[in-house]
Structure 1
Amino acid sequence: MDTKMMPDLTIEVFGETIKLGDPSPIAAKIPRITSENFCLRNAWLGDAKENAFIAAIATDYPSLISSRNLTAAIGNIDPKPVVICLESIDSGLRNAYHREGISFASEDGNAYLPFLKIQQAPATTRRKPEPLSPQAQRIVLNLIAGRWDGYSASELAELTNKSRASVTKYLKEIEAICPSLLKASWRVRALGNPRYSKDELLDMFEPYLKSPLKRAIRLSRLPAIDELKPLQPKLTGMSALPFFSDLAHDTSRVTIMMDQENIAALQAQMGSEWREAAWNEEPAFVIEEWTYPLDAASNRSVAATGLACVDPFSLYAELINNEHDDPRTHDAIEQLREHLCQ
């Protein structure tokens, strides 16, 4: 079995992660038919390499017989413990492993490692819904927009450039708010919308959305649009809202979002003309840095301003839970939501 074709499992046991090392040479010493449905890796729990074991990562849902034969074949050659590793395990196989004394660990929180005197079962209590972390919110907004619907945890890890372990935590945040958005087979945990409307999803998640704003830089001077374009800024906040509502576009103050690297590039480009506005001075130009990257944009503002704006779902998340004194702003945000739910 080519280990490069196997996804790495992220299994935590009492806060420690099972570390997967190199392929185990034991695979070449046992009958191929015995190991054909498993990928054998050297492994250990946390930093305790002295308690190394052989992780048998199941490439198909294992049977008791195949697991028994594998552990017996390895045991005849190597004294190290064998741990069957899989994404999830049903109660029947879990109980059978217990009866047979077969060690196992799964991503869904079950573990039986008698050689380490460890047994773990997932908590039965449902996690309390809480405001979403930045990356969990990013995933939710892309789901509601229909962009990341049906993606597995591994695919989301690639899209967000985060580890599988991190994505698992983000999915648990989402599951606490709406459990039916998470679907799991024995090997794949995926995010999927079971036919909720965008309006219903916004109702569910709106109380848990937070502004993605990390910091705002208030400048006295607005650079020329031609200076900005190469850095691909996106209009946001009150500069983007008019393009999704009846609100008048205010050209006296421009708000954009950029990543940290492009902010530094713009500062170097402006040189001495980069001057931050005093606290009591109205800025002409506001640059926002967000807590997560933008995965989409809208061209609704290009004809009028020469710049694209953030996608409407991201804009809604930025504005919805902020305090707005002007009733016209409230009306404009409602129009934005109507646009989202079309």
Structure 2
Amino acid sequence: MDTKMMADITIEVFGDTIELGDPSFIVAKIPRIASENFYLRDAWLGDEKENAFIAAIATDYPSLISSRNLVAAIGAIDPKPVVICLESIDSGLRNAYYKEGISFASEDGNAYLPFLKIQQTPAATRRKPEPLSPQAQRIVLNLIAGRWDGHSASELAELTNKSRASVTKYLKEIEAICPSLLKASWRVRALGNPGYSKDELLDMFEPYLKSPIKRVIRLSHPTTIDELQALQPKFTGMSALPFFSDLAHDTSQIMIMIDQEGAASLQAKMGSVWKEVAWNEEPAFVIEEWTYPLDATSDRSTAATGLACVDPFSLYAELINDEHDDPRIHDAIDQLREQLCQQ
């Protein structure tokens, strides 16, 4: 069991988060056998530092006996309350804790904190589905593509370079749309496809996908592929769509996705030639900065141009909410979706 993962557990009680401080000094003063299945942290609820307690984060599914022994060992030398913290709790252990007067809180919405006069049970209704945040959308697209299927919250935190607490919030967004994609045991919360096809998943999530574009830079001066190579940009938008459909290539305008640092490097390289056009003018070169990084690319364009495209799932998320008057573009987007579902 990864104790570091459990040390970063995220539990909300009536809208306030259990805040975790430093490892508790008390661990050095009690018998090792009493704390061997727990990671002890100083803790408090929300901003109430004056009501501090000791969070005993379970590193293995706790028993009533081990919990009772830990609480007794700490209580013999420290008056602060002890709260058993875990990801989920079954009804048997929950009822046993109530009977013994042992405080506990879990990520699945259960909490019994008698020293604060608080008792919470999971809400009967789930969160209302809403448009996905950028990182939640990133996770969903990688799941649909089959890249991040079966990953735990801790693994997703590493893949996204976000905190586990943030990933927990992203998973709640996803769970609100499709609860069956989230599975939780007593120690692991994981994202996994129970057997939906890509077509079914796209039908579920398409209403909640947003364009990943954060900023668009529209330039008047065209550039060559050779000038772009070192920055490793990716074709996107109308420059990428023809590689996934029978839409004709429009070489009069290049559209690429690049990060903020890459855009700054290109601007420095172009110098005085760098000129952005007015909103009502047609650009020759379009740079898109996205709200999240790409986790995959497509090599469909590499042989012909030397540059890769954004991966087709990200391209689809970019295009579906754009307004296009040309029926050929609508047809091309439909062709892109068909290819996604066949992968």
Bin for the TM-score computed over the shorter chain? over 0.9
Q: Distance in 1 between matches of 2:219 and 2:279?
A: 11
Contact 1:267 1:274 in 2 (8 A): yes
Quote the offset at 1:306 in angstroms: 2.0
Q: Distance in 2 between matches of 1:131 and 1:54?
A: 37
The letter of the residue matching 1:284 is A
Quote the offset at 1:224 in angstroms: 2.3
The letter of the residue matching 2:175 is E
Structure-to-structure mapping, 1:273-284, within 5 angstroms: 273-284=273-284
* Corresponding position: 1:320 with 2:320: yes
Quote the offset at 1:320 in angstroms: 1.4
Q: Deviations over 1:205-260 (max 9, x none)?
A: 11211111112111001222222111111110010000001111111001111111
Q: Distance in 2 between matches of 1:43 and 1:282?
A: 57
Quote the offset at 1:157 in angstroms: 1.1
The residue that corresponds to 1:26 in the other structure is 26
The residue that corresponds to 1:87 in the other structure is 87
* Corresponding position: 1:116 with 2:116: yes
Mark the CA change 1:3 to 1:203 in structure 2 (over 3 Å): closer, same or farther: closer
Mark the CA change 1:288 to 1:190 in structure 2 (over 3 Å): closer, same or farther: same
Contact 2:137 2:209 in 1 (8 A): yes
Q: Distance in 1 between matches of 2:69 and 2:166?
A: 34
Q: Distance in 2 between matches of 1:124 and 1:333?
A: 39
Mark the CA change 1:179 to 1:4 in structure 2 (over 3 Å): closer, same or farther: closer
Quote the offset at 1:122 in angstroms: 2.1
TM-score (norm 1): 0.95
Contact 2:213 2:290 in 1 (8 A): yes
* Corresponding position: 1:13 with 2:25: no
The residue that corresponds to 2:210 in the other structure is 210
Give the secondary structure class of the aligned counterpart of 1:228. helix
The residue that corresponds to 1:253 in the other structure is 253
Give the secondary structure class of the aligned counterpart of 2:300. coil
Mark the CA change 1:4 to 1:210 in structure 2 (over 3 Å): closer, same or farther: closer
Q: Deviations over 1:59-105 (max 9, x none)?
A: 11111121111111111111111110111111221122122111111
Give the secondary structure class of the aligned counterpart of 2:94. helix
The residue that corresponds to 1:337 in the other structure is 337
Point out where structure 2 has 5 or more consecutive residues left out of the alignment: none
The residue that corresponds to 2:242 in the other structure is 242
Contact 1:235 1:256 in 2 (8 A): yes
Structure-to-structure mapping, 1:25-104, within 5 angstroms: 25-104=25-104
Quote the offset at 1:309 in angstroms: 0.7
The residue that corresponds to 1:201 in the other structure is 201
Q: Distance in 2 between matches of 1:322 and 1:305?
A: 26
Mark the CA change 1:5 to 1:288 in structure 2 (over 3 Å): closer, same or farther: closer
Give the secondary structure class of the aligned counterpart of 1:341. helix
Contact 1:3 1:23 in 2 (8 A): no
Q: Distance in 2 between matches of 1:2 and 1:134?
A: 28
Quote the offset at 1:120 in angstroms: 2.0
Give the secondary structure class of the aligned counterpart of 1:10. coil
Q: Distance in 2 between matches of 1:213 and 1:238?
A: 14
* Corresponding position: 1:105 with 2:120: no
Quote the offset at 1:7 in angstroms: 4.2
The residue that corresponds to 1:135 in the other structure is 135
Q: Distance in 2 between matches of 1:242 and 1:2?
A: 46
Quote the offset at 1:168 in angstroms: 1.2
Q: Deviations over 1:113-151 (max 9, x none)?
A: 111222222211122222211111110000000100001
Give the secondary structure class of the aligned counterpart of 1:283. coil
Quote the offset at 1:200 in angstroms: 1.2
The letter of the residue matching 1:14 is F
Q: Distance in 1 between matches of 2:5 and 2:250?
A: 54
Q: Distance in 1 between matches of 2:267 and 2:11?
A: 44
The letter of the residue matching 1:331 is D
Structure-to-structure mapping, 1:278-317, within 5 angstroms: 278-317=278-317
The letter of the residue matching 1:301 is S
The residue that corresponds to 1:165 in the other structure is 165
Point out where structure 1 has 5 or more consecutive residues left out of the alignment: none
The letter of the residue matching 2:12 is E
Quote the offset at 1:153 in angstroms: 0.8
The letter of the residue matching 1:44 is W
Give the secondary structure class of the aligned counterpart of 1:240. helix
The letter of the residue matching 2:284 is A
Percent identity of paired positions between Structure 1 and Structure 2: 87
Q: Distance in 2 between matches of 1:132 and 1:205?
A: 9
Contact 1:175 1:181 in 2 (8 A): yes
Q: Distance in 2 between matches of 1:230 and 1:109?
A: 49
Quote the offset at 1:20 in angstroms: 2.1
Q: Distance in 2 between matches of 1:179 and 1:65?
A: 33
Contact 1:108 1:122 in 2 (8 A): yes
Q: Number of aligned pairs?
A: 342
Contact 2:212 2:290 in 1 (8 A): yes
TM-score (norm 2): 0.95
Mark the CA change 1:291 to 1:5 in structure 2 (over 3 Å): closer, same or farther: closer
